[in-house]
C-alpha cells in the first residue's frame, strides 16, 4: 500500500531562499491527506504536480499563519475548479470563523461541503478512522493551541499463499474469511490452520508529524516507534535560548526526540529564515541520529522504504 510523503513547504515563519511555509502531502493508498497549508501551497502543488482535487482531508496543526494562510486560496480554487465532493478539515475551532468570514465577504457559496472536526490540544484523540488509516492528534507545547498528527496505517488482511490455495482447490468464497484469520476446513472435514495457508501482512507503518513545539517529553510515549518522524527543527542548538523563547525545537533536540522515541527515520524541517543553506542543520542532527533527512520541497519519501 502506498504511504508516501511529499514536502511542499519547509520553512518557518516567513518564506525565503525559495523555501515556503509548512505544507506536506501524505499519499496513503492513492488518497491525499494535506498536512498544514502555508501561503503558496496551491502554487507548490502545481509546481510538483500534486492534484489538489484529489485531497479529501486537510489537517491544520495550529493557527500561526505560516501553517494555514494558504488554506483559503486552496479552498477557493477547489470551488472555482468545480469541486462538489465534501472535504474534511481537522484543526483548531477558530478556523471555521476565519473561513466563513472570508467566503461571506466575497459572497462565495461553496459548491462543496466543508466538514469540520475541531482538534483538542489537551488530549490525544482519534480524529479519523477509515479503511486505510487511523489518525490521532498529538498535543504539542507551543504558546497557542497546537497539535501534531499521527497517521497509523491500518493492518492489512493476511495474504493467501497462492500455491496452497491452488493445491487445496479452496473455493473463492472462503478467501475473505481466511484473509481475516479463519482456518480452512475442506469437504472431508480436514482442518488446515490459517498460518499454513496465509502469510502475515506487512507491519503497519506510522508517520508522526510534530509541528511547532518546544522539546517536551509529554508526547514521547505517543510517538514512539514511528516509521517516520517529522519533527520541527527551527534552529541550530547554538540558538537554544531563542528556541525556548519562541517555543521551538533545535535540530539537536529533534534528533534526541527521534533517538529517545526509537524512530526508524527522522525528517527535519520548519527551518528558520536565518539559514540560507541547510547542511549544518543536517550534520547536527546526524551527530545524534544518523538516519535523518532534510524536508526538501518537492522531495517524496516512501515511508518505511528508506
Q: Contact residues for a second copy (CB under 8 A)?
A: 13-16, 20-21, 39-40, 42-43, 46, 63-66, 69-70, 72-73, 76-77, 80-81, 92, 94, 97-98, 101-102, 105-107, 143-144
Total residues belonging to the chain:
306
The residue annotated as part of the active site, out of 36, 49, 66, 200, is 66
We find the least distance from the C-beta atom of residue 241 to a second copy, in angstroms, to be 18
200: exposed, middle or buried (C-beta count within 10 Å: 0-12, 13-18, 19+)?
exposed
| Closest to a second copy by CB, 36 or 39 | 39
Take residue 76 and report the three cell numbers written for it: 477557493
We find the least distance from the C-beta atom of residue 14 to a second copy, in angstroms, to be 4
| Of the candidates 104, 108, 151, the residue with the CA atom closest to the CA atom of residue 132 | 151
Take residue 243 and report the three cell numbers written for it: 528556541
We find the least distance from the C-beta atom of residue 77 to a second copy, in angstroms, to be 4
Radius of gyration of the chain (CA): 22
Q: Which residues contact 288 (CB under 8 A, 6 or more apart)?
A: 252, 255, 256, 258, 259
| Closest to a second copy by CB, 77 or 224 | 77
We find the least distance from the C-beta atom of residue 146 to a second copy, in angstroms, to be 11
| Closest to a second copy by CB, 142 or 205 | 142
Q: What are phi and psi of 99, to 5 degrees?
A: -70, -50
The answer to whether residue 66 is catalytic is yes
| Closest to a second copy by CB, 48 or 69 | 69
Buried b (16+ CB within 10 A) or exposed e, 101-115: eebeeeeeebeeebe
Residues serving a catalytic function are 66
Amino acid at each position: 500500500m502506498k504511504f508516501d510523503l511529499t514536502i511542499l513547504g519547509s520553512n518557518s515563519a516567513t518564506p525565503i531562499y525559495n523555501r515556503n511555509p509548512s505544507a506536506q502531502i501524505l499519499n496513503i493508498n492513492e488518497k491525499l491527506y494535506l498536512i498544514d497549508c502555508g501561503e503558496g501551497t496551491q502554487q507548490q502543488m502545481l509546481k510538483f504536480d500534486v492534484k489538489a482535487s484529489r485531497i479529501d482531508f486537510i489537517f491544520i496543526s495550529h493557527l500561526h499563519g505560516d501553517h494555514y494562510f494558504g488554506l483559503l486560496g486552496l479552498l477557493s480554487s477547489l470551488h472555482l475548479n468545480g469541486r462538489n465532493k465534501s472535504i474534511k478539515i481537522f484543526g483548531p475551532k477558530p478556523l471555521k470563523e476565519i473561513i466563513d468570514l472570508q467566503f461571506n465577504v466575497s459572497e462565495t457559496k461553496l459548491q462543496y461541503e466543508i466538514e469540520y472536526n475541531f482538534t483538542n490540544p489537551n488530549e490525544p484523540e482519534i480524529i479519523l478512522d477509515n479503511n486505510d488509516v487511523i489518525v490521532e492528534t498529538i498535543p504539542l507545547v507551543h504558546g497557542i493551541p497546537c497539535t501534531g498528527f499521527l497517521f497509523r496505517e491500518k493492518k492489512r488482511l493476511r495474504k493467501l499463499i497462492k500455491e496452497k490455495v491452488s493445491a487445496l482447490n479452496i473455493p473463492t468464497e472462503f478467501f475473505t474469511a481466511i484473509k481475516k484469520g479463519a482456518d480452512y476446513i475442506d469437504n472431508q472435514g480436514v482442518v488446515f490452520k490459517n498460518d499454513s495457508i496465509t502469510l502475515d501482512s506487512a507491519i503497519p507503518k506510522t508517520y508522526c508529524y510534530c509541528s511547532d513545539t518546544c522539546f517536551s517529553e509529554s508526547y514521547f510515549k505517543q510517538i514512539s516507534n514511528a516509521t517516520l518522524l517529522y519533527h520541527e527543527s527551527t534552529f541550530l542548538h547554538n540558538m537554544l535560548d531563542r528556541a525556548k523563547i519562541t517555543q521551538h525545537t533545535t535540530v539537536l533536540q529533534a534528533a534526541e526526540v527521534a533517538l529517545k522515541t526509537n524512530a526508524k527515520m527522522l525528517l527535519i524541517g520548519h527551518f528558520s529564515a536565518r539559514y540560507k543553506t541547510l547542511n549544518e542543520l543536517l550534520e547536527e542532527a546526524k551527530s545524534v541520529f544518523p538516519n535523518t533527512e532534510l524536508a526538501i520541497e518537492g522531495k517524496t519519501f516512501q515511508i518505511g522504504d528508506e
